[in-house]
Amino acid sequence: MSAGGSDGTADRPADLAAEGECPEQAGSSLPAVEVPRKRKGDVEERSGTHGQHSVDFQKDDDRSRSEGEDQQVKMKCFREPHRQIEKRRRDKMNTLIDELAAMIPACQPMARKLDKLTVLRKAVQHLKALKAGTGSAFTDTTFKPSILSHDDLKHLLLRAVDGFLLVVSCDRAKILFISESVSKILNLSRLELTGQSLFDFIHPKDINKVKEQLSSSEYPRQCLIDAATGVQVQVDAPARPPLLSTGARRSFFCRLKHSRVAGKQDKHFLPCTSKKKDTSRYCTLHCTGYMRSCPSSQLDSEGDSEMESSDLSCLVTVCRLLTPMSHQPPKELTIRPSEFVTRWAIDGKFTFVEQQATTVIGYLPQEVLGTSCYEYFHQDDLLHLADKHRQVLRSKEKIETRCYKFKTKYGSYVSLQSQWFSFTNPWTKEVEFIVSSNQVISGPGHTKDEEAGNSKALQEDTKQIPIIPSLSSGLGTMIYAGSIGTQIANELMDSYRMNSSPSSRACSPFGPTQEKCPQVSPQTSTSASSREEASGSSSQSQCDSRTAAGTSSATSESLAAVSRININPIQGEPSQLDLDLVPGLSSFSSDEAAMAVIMSLLETDVNMGQSEDFEDLHWPF
Amino acid sequence: MTANKEKRRVISRDAARRRRQVESEVFVDLSRLLPFQQSVQDHLDKPSVIRLTLSYIRMHTLLKGKTGIKVEASHAVKCGQVMESGQEWRGCDRGRDDEEKKTDNVEASEETNMFLRILEGFLMVLSTEGDMIYLSDNVSKYMGLTQTELMGHNIFEYTHPCDHEEIRNNLRLTAEEVWCGAKRDFIMRIKGALTHRGRSSNLKSATWKVLHCQGRAKVCVAPSSVSCLLLTCQPLPLSHTLLSTHTFTSQHSMDMRFTYCDQRMTLLLGYSTEELLGRSIYDLCHILDTNCLTKNHLNLCFKSQSVSGQYRMLVRGGGYVWVESHSAVIPSVRPSKSRPGAHQPLCILCVTYVLSGVEEPSLQLSLDQAVHRYLR
């Protein structure tokens, strides 16, 4: 089928002769391959570019069906899928026309969709304009026409490959040719390098290595690998290696000197490359290429008369800078997510941590035992996790948390999702401990929220924002975060006590009271504002104004507030804030610490009113 | 009545034929404008013409951003020039007249051709949706399909389904990454329609070919923001390379335990073969490079070939060396002709290049090193 003819016939649906065939033209035919029909990947709709694939599948179906059937049915079966074939072909064409219209500036401002012919005509005009713009490169008949001009291709190639072309002679390692791009990589100009000996620029320890690679036939041990068996094959050195034979292939790594003019170069270093005595810096390159033999008659323009007109061997290589990418964790690998189990007491303090946890959180088990899990939770998650904590203490079922961030030893965050389950002592009917089964959520392919969470975590890594700017010591964290767990636990204990003996309720003395709300957080403006984002409740603005007021003015306020707290019937039984239980608090100046605690309590008071889930709590009324 | 109907039918048929004629003519015009040889132009069908036009326009849009980077003229210096055909050497003094421009073009083309040949790979420009906007013309040597057949199609049609996710992840570019020209380095399987002898067959008998893709992101800001990935794709040959004394080979079972290593390993790292047999490579490497090794191992299991990137191997007695491994999965026994369909046990063959000297020889990073040091 000639091209001209088929263009016509392909569009004529009535022509049965044509419809059965798959057009055998360059570029359009994609006959069936051993590819499963159901693809896992993100494959475009079959009506698009897969039209041709389906043609053959349909044909195969048709063939098998028609074998046992009569002519009429055969025709019907042919027409049915044929309509679909045609439809697919038309859809594909329409899609292509649309894409073309999108790319052509002349077609874009049109409000309504242009018809096929107009788009094609505009495309012709556009191409003519492009060709006029680029000059004579394409009309030059001496060159093979190509989509890109050679300069463009070169530019793209060099952009993709951080490398340069190098030709060295084998006997003295004289640089015969080096491409322009070397200036980008080594910061040495082409002029400086051409004609020099390569050994002047190589790291001293690599000189022998390169010498080996340059020697052609004289090298006694030519070790090749036979890929079929993996066995090394000792080859008797041939008299002269043939041009571009696979035996003449060379591949090696070497370190080349480079100048420090552009500071950027430092990034490309492997840590091993700088020698302390030598002030020059080196970068590692991967050189691959071939040995070639070339007549040396016109080699030296200096007119070296000693040069015989014998053939000279040289090594033609592409030297490519190594990308230090390997140390990044493979984001794209979907390894089974790590899981580990931890156990904590009712106040959130770790009592058991599985060994595997270390690979995830960085801490060894002994480092976290006894510390409260709240110290590791990210601020934004405190509210929701404390909520779940309360829930799990009162429920007999597994509570699943949302994805949250857990601080690792190195300060970065890892996303986890956990199932919590409380174990109740069957005799005392009290919760003994909580078992937490944690999975690491990482990598792409998750919901947008989690991804956003991940990227946020990464941003935080890079910026290294401490959680509590003003009280950034670990102790500071402990005061507030740790006490959340203690509070929740105390609530529970109280509820037990109250349930067992309602008469034993006692009023707590006036003093710094403890709120039964998990919303304890340091009162810095940054944290308050981030909590604002997290919970979004309007009470936050009140907190902000309070925190903004400063600690000194808050004293009177706090006292008044505290008195209000006592009266507030919702409070139930406040219990002592047992400062001794929170380690490290005493090391702070008492005023500051007390003020800080009071402020946090006040904030939590306000939040309590909004976010408390009253049903679960055993209120004493 | 029927005569009228008949007449109308004829008229409409003629009109349709004329329309199709006009359309075909426009298509021919368009194909003539495409920068391909006449013979190629004549054989393009309509969708291909549009596909290639799209590629052409997209490439120009992409490259518009660059400010005409021309080959630098080095005026007074004579330089050697290697020509691809023939074995001539030519020193050239570069002027700037038209004749020289032409020579520049010649040089540029030769240089890029040589570059691509020595690199043993082809250039691919991928849009963020995976469309292969541009492929250098030597792609036919590696994939068996020509530039015109492939350009404009989507890469997901030609790659192994299991690799699609990895490819998509690599195509995902944030704005920051594009601006910095973020680098990409991954391995994928692509359909190759080449016979053993290197001749093109058709897609029906395509087999999977493993390609190592390396490159970076590129953006063009005006007129519209277009970002894409520039990649060089190289197959991974393992055979027939002259190995230096700074390279050693080793064989492993599929779980990366040593089953064999050559004597150069002893010279370079100090371990004897007996010491290593049965030990896992993960034990021998710096703990922080586990990620790198894992990725390498997984690539081998799924794609059967891999390039590891740089990692550290511990030296007996203390310290480490930087290495890079090129590995492949091969049958561990020679495939027998008597039982061709039998299941072949597989093993991993690694060629490891040592990149550096021994770093920090007194540093003990594993228990083994401590033991060896004191038991010397």
Is B63's CB within 8 Å of A33's CB?
A: no
Cα–Cα nearest to B351, from B293, B265, B285, B223:
B265
Q: How far apart are the first and last CA of chain B?
A: 111
B81: chain A residues, CB-CB within 8 Å: 177
3-state SS of A460-504?
HHHHCCCCCCCCCCHHHHHHHHHHHHHHHHHHHHHHHHHHHCHHH
| Structure tokens, B117 | 């040949």
Residue A408, pLDDT score: 87
- What is the separation of C-alpha A81 from the centre of its chain, rounded to a whole number of angstroms? 44
Model confidence at B17: pLDDT above 90: yes
Note whether A33 contacts B206, CB cutoff 8 Å: yes
| Closest to A482 in 3D by CA, of A577, A384, A404, A361 | A577
| 3-class SS of residue B123 | strand
Write down the pLDDT at residue A364: 80
The counts of H helices and E strands in chain A are 19, 13
Ranges of chain A with pLDDT below 50: 1-62, 64-66, 68, 136-142, 217-222, 227-228, 230, 234-247, 262-278, 297-309, 326-330, 332-334, 336, 443-478, 502-588, 608-621
Nearest to B65 by CA among A590, A156, A147, A230: A156
Could you tell me the pTM of the whole model?
0.57
Give the pair of three-digit tokens for residue A429: 């009917």
Probe site for chain B from A59, A95, A161, A312 (most B CB atoms < 10 A): A161
- B21 — pLDDT class (breaks 50, 70, 90): very high
What number is the ipTM of this complex?
0.79
The answer to whether A270 touches B359, Cβ cutoff 8 Å, is no
Distance (Å, whole) CA B191 – CA B168 = 17
Q: Strand locations in B168-319, DSSP E?
A: 183-192, 207-220, 226-235, 241-242, 247-252, 258-261, 305-314
Q: Give the whole-angstrom CA distance, residue A140 versus residue B103.
A: 13
Q: Do A150 and B105 touch (CB under 8 A)?
A: yes
Interface of A with B in 241-280 (CB under 8 A): 246-247, 249-253, 255, 270-273
DSSP E strand stretches across A170-259? 175-178, 222-226, 231-235, 249-258
Among residues A109, A64, A298, A273, the alpha carbon closest in space to that of A186 is found at A273
B253 backbone φψ class: left, alpha, beta (φ>0; ψ -120 to 50) = beta
Residue A432 DSSP SS3: strand
Q: Determine the residue of chain B that is closest to A189 in CA distance.
A: B74
The rounded mean pLDDT for chain B is 78
Q: How far off is chain A from B261, nearest CA to CA, in Å?
A: 11
Residue A402's nearest CA partner among A376, A352, A441 is: A441
Cβ count near B150 (within 10 Å): 21
- Beta strand A163-169 with A175-178 is antiparallel
Q: How far is B42 from B31, CA to CA, in rounded Å?
A: 8
Closest CA to A415 of A447, A387, A386, A392: A447
How distant is the Cα of B107 from the closest Cα of chain A, in angstroms?
A: 9
Burial grade of A498 (CB within 10 A; 0-12, 13-18, 19 or more):
middle
Among the residues of B137-187, which ranges form H helices?
A: 139-143, 147-150, 164-171, 175-180
- Taking residue A328's Cβ as centre, other Cβ atoms within 10 Å add up to 12
Nearest to B108 among A42, A145, A154 (CB): A154
- The predicted pLDDT at position B341 comes to 62
What distance in Å separates residue A460's CA from the closest CA in chain B? 16
Which whole-number Å values give the CA distances from A552 to A546, A556, A557, B242, in the listed order? Answer: 11, 8, 10, 78
Q: Which one-letter DSSP state was computed for residue A168?
A: E
User: Which residues are CB-contacts of B26 (< 8 A; sequence separation ≥ 6)?
Assistant: A117, A120, A121, A124
HSE toward the beta carbon, residue B83, CA cutoff 13 A = 15
Please state, in angstroms and rounded to a whole number, the distance separating the CA atoms of residues B28 and A566.
90
Q: CA of B20, closest CA in chain A: separation in Å? A: 7
Q: In this predicted model, what pLDDT tens digit does every residue of B290-331 receive, in sequence order? A: 888 998 999 898 888 898 888 999 888 888 899 999 898 888
User: Distance, in angstroms, between A593 CA and closest chain B CA?
Assistant: 41
Smallest CA–CA distance from B112 into chain A, residue: A154
Q: CB A319: neighbour CB atoms within 10 A?
A: 25
Inform me whether the C-beta atom of residue B141 falls under 8 Å from chain A C-beta atoms.
Answer: no
Give the SS3 label for residue B305: strand
CA distances from A557 to A232, A564, A572, A595 (A): 84, 10, 22, 11
Residue B46, chain A, CB below 8 Å: the answer is yes
Helix B2-33 crosses helix A116-134 at what angle (to 10 degrees)?
A: 20
Question: Shortest Cα distance from A370 to chain B (angstroms)?
Answer: 29
A249 to chain B: closest CA residue: B241
CA-based nearest residue to A450, from A459, A441, A437: A441
Write phi, then psi, for B313 (nearest 5 degrees). -110, 135
What pLDDT, on a 0 to 100 scale, did the predictor assign at position B118?
Answer: 85
Asked if the C-beta of A467 comes within 8 angstroms of chain B's C-beta atoms, the answer is no
Single-letter amino acid, residue B124 = M
Question: Given this model, what pLDDT does residue A137 score?
Answer: 47
DSSP string of A51-113?
HHHHHHHHHHHHHHHHHTS-HHHHHHHHHHHHHHHHHHHHHHHHHHHHHHHHH-GGGTT-SSP
Beta bridge partners of B186: B213
User: Which strand (E) or helix (H) includes residue A420?
Assistant: strand A413-424
**Residues on chain A touching B241 (C-beta within 8 angstroms):** 224-225, 249-251
Eight-class DSSP state of B44 = B
pLDDT for A510 equals 39
CB contact under 8 A, B214 and A323: yes
- List A residues 552-591 in contact with B (Cβ-Cβ < 8 A): none
Q: Is A322 an 8 Å CB contact of chain B?
A: yes
For A197, half-sphere exposure in the C-beta direction (CA atoms, 13 angstrom radius) is 10
Closest C-alpha to B300, from B358, B269, B255, B234? B255
Query: A18 and chain B: CB distance < 8 Å anywhere?
Result: no
pLDDT of residue A261: 62
CB atoms under 10 Å from CB of A123, counted, come to 28
* CA distance, residue A244 to nearest chain B CA (Å): 10
Nearest to B240 among A43, A249, A328 (CB): A249
**Nearest chain B residue (CA) to A1:** B43
Element (H, E) at A295: strand A281-295
